[in-house]
Amino acid sequence: MVKLMTVKEDHVMMPEPERPTMLLFMGEREEHAITSFKHFYPSSVHIITSDRFSEKYESLIQEWSGDFGFRAGQVKSVTDLFEPSSVNSMLKASLECLADEYEARDGTPGQLFVGITGGTTHMALTGSYLTQLVGGTAFYVLRPPEGKPILPQRDILIFPEMGGAKLALRTKTPDIHYLMSNQSGSVDELKEESMMNDDYLEMASDAGLIDVKEGSWEVTELGRASYGFASSTSAWGELTFVMNNMMGSSEGDGDDVMHG
């Protein structure tokens, strides 16, 4: 039986989202991994680390699997972490983890979140590059304010994917307000009360920003991050100008794009 959930009582009920796959780049510290488990509730977890910590995480992933109810995926270690070849080694290890996930899920691995909090700077860069190659979403676990407890719903920074960010930048300001204030509802009402149409919904669904099922819609977690950045970050105005000039496009002029 499908479990149902609502964002607001007067909104259309949507099926509970499919649990994502998680791939974590890990160094010596492991507490940020627990924060990410509580935030994303993954169905399976894979780890990329150095050979120095491989034994530690082979043990921890089994422990975490029992504590948080996910499938323990692969733990891949690289022996050349501080060599020029390390990026290729980490990418190869990551793709081997994803191949294992495809096999375990019969070719349907679901949404991928890549944690870039742990390890070295070039591990984080490799994780970010991986998301661009395979269409995943990078995230970073923030340290809570001094003296404050860790809050998984607050202390996660999600980086919008390139395709989703571009679409969010070109979404008209009133439509961003409509999506962010309502979060979910019926497709018919959305088309009546906003300037969005079926073509836009198809693009937003393909980009992972909006989940559309059986006449209902809901902004995804990635969508909230993408539209949130587009509506509150002053740099997006300059980025829109640069992108429009690079692509020779006249879309997204002044009033139609949120500039923060």
Mind listing the pLDDT tens digit for each residue in 36-83? 999 999 999 999 999 999 999 999 999 999 999 999 999 999 999 999
Is 227 a residue whose pLDDT tops 90? no
Structural domain of residue 250, as residue ranges? 162-256
Residue 141 sits in the same domain as residue 72: yes
- Among residues 141, 142, 132, 111, the alpha carbon closest in space to that of 42 is found at 111
Structure tokens at 58: 């082979």
Residue 67 sits in the same domain as residue 143: yes
Q: Supply the pLDDT for residue 233.
A: 58
Domain-ending residue, one of 158, 177, 192: 158
Residue 194 sits in the same domain as residue 217: yes
Residues 6 or more apart whose CB falls under 8 angstroms from that of 24 comprise 33, 36, 45, 46, 47, 48, 114, 115, 117, 118
Domain-ending residue, one of 124, 142, 158: 158
Residue 69 sits in the same domain as residue 143: yes
Residue 119 sits in the same domain as residue 146: yes
Q: How confident is the model at residue 208 (pLDDT cuts 50, 70, 90)?
A: confident
β-bridge mates for residue 218, sequence order: 184, 211
Is 15 a residue whose pLDDT tops 80? no
Q: Supply the pLDDT for residue 168.
A: 84
Q: What single-letter DSSP state applies at residue 53?
A: T
Is 35 a residue whose pLDDT tops 60? yes
Comparing 187 with 254, the larger pLDDT belongs to: 187
| Number of helices followed by number of strands (H, E) in the chain | 10, 11
Residue 196 sits in the same domain as residue 154: no
pTM value? Answer: 0.69
Q: How confident is the model at residue 93 (pLDDT cuts 50, 70, 90)?
A: very high
Q: How confident is the model at residue 254 (pLDDT cuts 50, 70, 90)?
A: very low
Q: Supply the pLDDT for residue 250.
A: 45
Domain-ending residue, one of 136, 158, 180: 158
Comparing 243 with 3, the larger pLDDT belongs to: 243
CATH number, domain with residue 96: 3.40.50.10770
Dist. CA 45–CA 64, nearest whole Å: 9
Q: Supply the pLDDT for residue 1.
A: 41
Domain count, the chain: 2
Q: Supply the pLDDT for residue 196.
A: 93
Are the beta carbons of 74 and 57 closer than 8 angstroms?
no
CATH number, domain with residue 169: 1.10.10
Average pLDDT of the residues of the chain:
82
Q: Supply the pLDDT for residue 3.
A: 41
List pLDDT tens digits, range 103-150: 988 777 678 999 999 989 999 999 999 988 888 889 999 888 788 888
Q: Summarize the confidence of residues 157-163 as an average pLDDT.
A: 75
Are the beta carbons of 14 and 213 closer than 8 angstroms?
yes
Residue located via tokens 């008209």? 172
Residue type, position 129, single letter: Y
Residue 27 sits in the same domain as residue 128: yes
